[in-house]
Structure 1
């Protein structure tokens, strides 16, 4: 199906407020009419009163009062129409930004796997802001200019239709110049917007990994990489400015001077043959001078318009991506939590399977642990269970229901997850546990924090449960952040609890607190654990040993130790027992 053009889609956003826009345009007509009445009044004063030497100033004063009244009316109308158009433009961009933010939450995680965060931020912040300039600046300027040009040509035809016909050649000439300007300028503007997006992505990445950059003394190299992007944007911006300088005010000014000289010559020639009204001459020159102001205004806004269209194309590219609606989960019943994988095969990239025919079952109240070296497929299993991706083959069920038949929100409503790198949002501690869920009271927050052993250190903070957490919780230790992350999962009372190497980055004392809490909170829940420290999963009901995307061994701790295979050797290595180099090599392979 053919997608509508960018212009049509932008128009679709504007038509939501068509009555406000029409009202602003009607007011604009009044403003233009009032402004263009001035030169005609001046002509009347010159021809009918000053040129005949009348001493009666009454009519002149009345005309001057009318002139001032028109100026005041034009001023009020211009303010009103500008306010209406610009406030409407802000509302349009507000709607577009919300549509983009909503759609980003519907897009598959595969998009974010391959797209730098800075580029996504650039789409929401910078690109929508550029589109705002289209509605606020260019649209207002273009509409005002077209109204002014229409009114000016009507006045010119009233004054002298022969010369007005000659002036009709100007719009096609300027339209041709604008077309050439847009054709070559778009090339450089597109590159400029792409480099801005790349720079945002690099800045975002640099800030996140600044400790690594400084620790490995990569400041100079990082600066050089940024300079390449910055220089490329600068070069293309200079090229775009050259085109703008050549095709805007310079050429308009030159053509304007030539046309004005032609008009003066025309009126001078006429005055030699017939008596010519000086008032008509003055009014014609005045109106002619006003033709070039709106043309220059349009030229000045062409760059903003082109930047806006390039940005709009990028915004609509994201909005055109396939996504799934965020559905309500009020009626979703709490599942028993029986998780079953049946011959599941999955690949992030076609032909490169990271999971191969995975089959296992986790019953209600059981703890199933996944162990294996990096890249063995542990996190991929969790990603599939959470619905972040869908299996290429096989089936995943919860209580016998295929999870692909459930909405993502219904699937995740009764799941809790704790990641290896816990993320805390900017806000207070109680918010980071409840996430503003109205069903989670302050008492429940405190109870969850007590269960995981976080209450003692939180109550010692100056603000207690109201203590503000900066972005990512950088003022707290990794163990403290992990405990709060645990409390968040427990406060939501999930049927299925997922721990993604949640104890890998904490000290032994904190690990002991979490182990005690887990024995309590895992009761009656299905718990799936990605284990880094094998000592933390000794009590698991089932341990799956993954190797290159397949289940190499399965059983509880005692059974696997008795087997003497991969698990036993990994456990012995972690315990610091002697292992032959050959055995270590086997594990690595």
Structure 2
């Protein structure tokens, strides 16, 4: 069954036990809430008993002093019930919000440490659903879930006990409609559960669709697919609407039916009680109390169906969240090597790698580079160039072989220490919806504004930034949409420079910019690579002619390696690539 539509067991003890681990920091508040719910349940039958006594004693005897005393007592009970209800509502909501805050932080921390293979196969919209919608559902578990169900059951038990203690015949008459109420409640519970499952699935589909299509809006508009995508969204949205309308329909049927059943029970009590009053077998106060008992009794039964479904949804949401928290799809960080200084020597020894088992994209890769050298990788799309970057940073782990930095296997490095010493400038630069300064600093408190300005001047982007409204405080909007490709690229150079890595990786950093911007970027690259080991993945061969060594990849294998002149002299793969690009330039 689809994980988005399956139903949970109401009392899934393993899941509830795991959920309780998030409750533990708030044990005092949690047990306080249970205590308040028990007090509320015990207070529920008190008012009908007071009214019964008031009618049968001070009213019947004309004792105004005692009547005034009873009225004051009833007002006190009502005030206490109001205060208890306030504390119950506030404390359950407070507890739920603090727990879902902790769960959301824990879940997000888990997500940001998952390896890239996880994101390759998991829709982003589903992760948004887990982090937002599923966790939000849990807040209702604490306000309308387990504790509230326990309170309702305790209230029903106390009311039944008091009713039979007061008059067993009237109790049997009052409870005669309970089987019908329980049957209708069960039917409603099952129907509404199915509707809620459909709503949950529709919400997940909506999240995934909207996230994916807003991210890819340029493709939608480039291919004039607005109408087609609109119709798809309209269909998904209609499914969401229909599922919600079904749940509304079940509510609109159930609650009037429940009211009719409750009213029928009240009618039976009034009919039978009236006969008993005339025969002087029961008092008027007793019948009045039983009318109130019926309302108090049937109200929790009506609520139980809703509460059970809330608990079921909470259990399902918790189960999905825990599955994500339990995911082992993260990069193991068992290394302990944290060097004081990385020189930058890089070695690949017999490296084999496959994104999918046995479908190798890198085959027996061997190369080494000394500190301060520049190696360039060239080859057709899909040759395996970007995979080398992913492996060096341990975004993915190799299947066979070794990758060494300064003679130490990358798996022996503490992961943060490894990645801190490798700076990557991607072809598609990602900037967050934040200020330029924060996009450069990336939360590192040790990077000062002065250091950022110094790096920006070195890269040659300081004047451009100063011309923006607010300068370094300018908000670049989501993905840096208000900046050009070249501007985003230059800012990414500043970002790498202030973090001062010893190994630089440039992934086709100039392939998407114009010639003028490329010249600026080339100057920035020269400054950026000075004194650093550099791995360059190039689309334009003119940008790598000064590299210490050029490695030609084809279908995951090294075909040639050497300097620019050496490779041209071989008249092989590289020479063919060079002539093709040179011919393109001449043709232009």
- TM-score norm. by structure 1 comes to 0.90
How far is the alpha carbon of 1:434 from its aligned partner? 1.6
How far is the alpha carbon of 1:203 from its aligned partner? 0.8
Separation in 2 of the partners of 1:408 and 1:318? 21
Residues 350 and 365 in structure 2, CA contact (< 8 A), matched pair in contact too: yes
Superposed CA deviations along residues 93-130 of structure 1, whole A, max 9, x for unmatched, are 11111111011122221110012212211211111112
The answer for the alignment partner of 1:286 in structure 2 is 292
Cα distance change on mapping 1:162 and 1:400 into 2, 3 Å: farther
Superposed CA deviations along residues 427-476 of structure 1, whole A, max 9, x for unmatched, are 22222212231222222111211221111211222322222222211111
The answer for the alignment partner of 2:544 in structure 1 is 537
In structure 1, stretches of 5+ residues that fail to align are 581-589
How far is the alpha carbon of 1:229 from its aligned partner? 2.0
The answer for the alignment partner of 1:585 in structure 2 is none
Superposed CA deviations along residues 35-70 of structure 1, whole A, max 9, x for unmatched, are 532222211121112223x2x411111110111111
Cα distance change on mapping 1:534 and 1:178 into 2, 3 Å: farther
Residues 114 and 331 in structure 2, CA contact (< 8 A), matched pair in contact too: yes
The answer for the alignment partner of 1:500 in structure 2 is 507
Separation in 1 of the partners of 2:337 and 2:86? 48
How far is the alpha carbon of 1:32 from its aligned partner? 4.1
Structure 2 residue matching 1:502: 3-state secondary structure? coil
Residues 190 and 310 in structure 1, CA contact (< 8 A), matched pair in contact too: no
Residues 1:24 and 2:30 are matched in the alignment: no
How far is the alpha carbon of 1:499 from its aligned partner? 0.9
Separation in 2 of the partners of 1:58 and 1:228? 69
Structure 1 residue matching 2:312: 3-state secondary structure? helix
The answer for the alignment partner of 2:561 in structure 1 is 554
Residues 327 and 409 in structure 1, CA contact (< 8 A), matched pair in contact too: no
Separation in 2 of the partners of 1:195 and 1:238? 13
The answer for the alignment partner of 1:132 in structure 2 is 139
Residues 1:403 and 2:422 are matched in the alignment: no
How far is the alpha carbon of 1:81 from its aligned partner? 2.2
Separation in 2 of the partners of 1:351 and 1:415? 28
Of 305, 312, 327, which residue of structure 1 is paired with 2:311?
305
Cα distance change on mapping 1:257 and 1:388 into 2, 3 Å: same
The answer for the alignment partner of 1:13 in structure 2 is 22
Separation in 2 of the partners of 1:403 and 1:111? 21
How far is the alpha carbon of 1:577 from its aligned partner? 6.0
Structure 2 residue matching 1:469: 3-state secondary structure? coil
The answer for the alignment partner of 1:475 in structure 2 is 482
Residues 1:260 and 2:266 are matched in the alignment: yes
Residues 1:82 and 2:89 are matched in the alignment: yes
Residues 414 and 496 in structure 1, CA contact (< 8 A), matched pair in contact too: yes
The answer for the alignment partner of 2:50 in structure 1 is 41
Of 389, 394, 399, which residue of structure 1 is paired with 2:396?
389
Of 205, 212, 221, which residue of structure 1 is paired with 2:228?
221
Separation in 1 of the partners of 2:586 and 2:460? 36
In structure 2, stretches of 5+ residues that fail to align are 1-11
How far is the alpha carbon of 1:509 from its aligned partner? 2.1
Separation in 1 of the partners of 2:369 and 2:460? 27
The answer for the alignment partner of 1:465 in structure 2 is 472
Separation in 2 of the partners of 1:274 and 1:242? 46
Separation in 2 of the partners of 1:420 and 1:176? 63
Structure 2 residue matching 1:358: 3-state secondary structure? strand
Cα distance change on mapping 1:68 and 1:519 into 2, 3 Å: same
Residues 374 and 549 in structure 2, CA contact (< 8 A), matched pair in contact too: yes
Superposed CA deviations along residues 290-310 of structure 1, whole A, max 9, x for unmatched, are 111122223344444333333
How far is the alpha carbon of 1:228 from its aligned partner? 2.7
The answer for the alignment partner of 2:320 in structure 1 is 314
Structure 1 residue matching 2:145: 3-state secondary structure? helix
Separation in 1 of the partners of 2:185 and 2:359? 51
Residues 421 and 501 in structure 2, CA contact (< 8 A), matched pair in contact too: yes
Residues 31 and 73 in structure 1, CA contact (< 8 A), matched pair in contact too: no
Superposed CA deviations along residues 337-396 of structure 1, whole A, max 9, x for unmatched, are 211111111111123211111111122101111111111111111111110111111111
Cα distance change on mapping 1:326 and 1:439 into 2, 3 Å: farther
Residues 1:118 and 2:118 are matched in the alignment: no
Cα distance change on mapping 1:333 and 1:173 into 2, 3 Å: farther
Structure 1 residue matching 2:525: 3-state secondary structure? helix
How far is the alpha carbon of 1:173 from its aligned partner? 6.6
The answer for the alignment partner of 1:351 in structure 2 is 358
Cα distance change on mapping 1:394 and 1:88 into 2, 3 Å: same
Structure 2 residue matching 1:487: 3-state secondary structure? helix
| Count of matched residue positions in the alignment of Structure 1 and Structure 2 | 575
Of 187, 202, 205, which residue of structure 2 is paired with 1:198?
205
How far is the alpha carbon of 1:412 from its aligned partner? 0.5
How far is the alpha carbon of 1:33 from its aligned partner? 3.9
The answer for the alignment partner of 1:586 in structure 2 is none
Separation in 2 of the partners of 1:170 and 1:327? 64
Separation in 2 of the partners of 1:298 and 1:63? 33
The answer for the alignment partner of 1:584 in structure 2 is none
Separation in 2 of the partners of 1:527 and 1:166? 88
Superposed CA deviations along residues 254-307 of structure 1, whole A, max 9, x for unmatched, are 432343333334434534554321111111111112111122223344444333
Residues 1:370 and 2:380 are matched in the alignment: no
Moved more, 322-331 or 405-414: 322-331
Moved more, 561-570 or 140-149: 140-149
Residues 335 and 414 in structure 1, CA contact (< 8 A), matched pair in contact too: yes
Cα distance change on mapping 1:147 and 1:565 into 2, 3 Å: same
The answer for the alignment partner of 1:151 in structure 2 is 158
Cα distance change on mapping 1:351 and 1:331 into 2, 3 Å: closer
- TM-score norm. by structure 2 comes to 0.91
Superposed CA deviations along residues 514-555 of structure 1, whole A, max 9, x for unmatched, are 222322332331111111111111111111111111111111
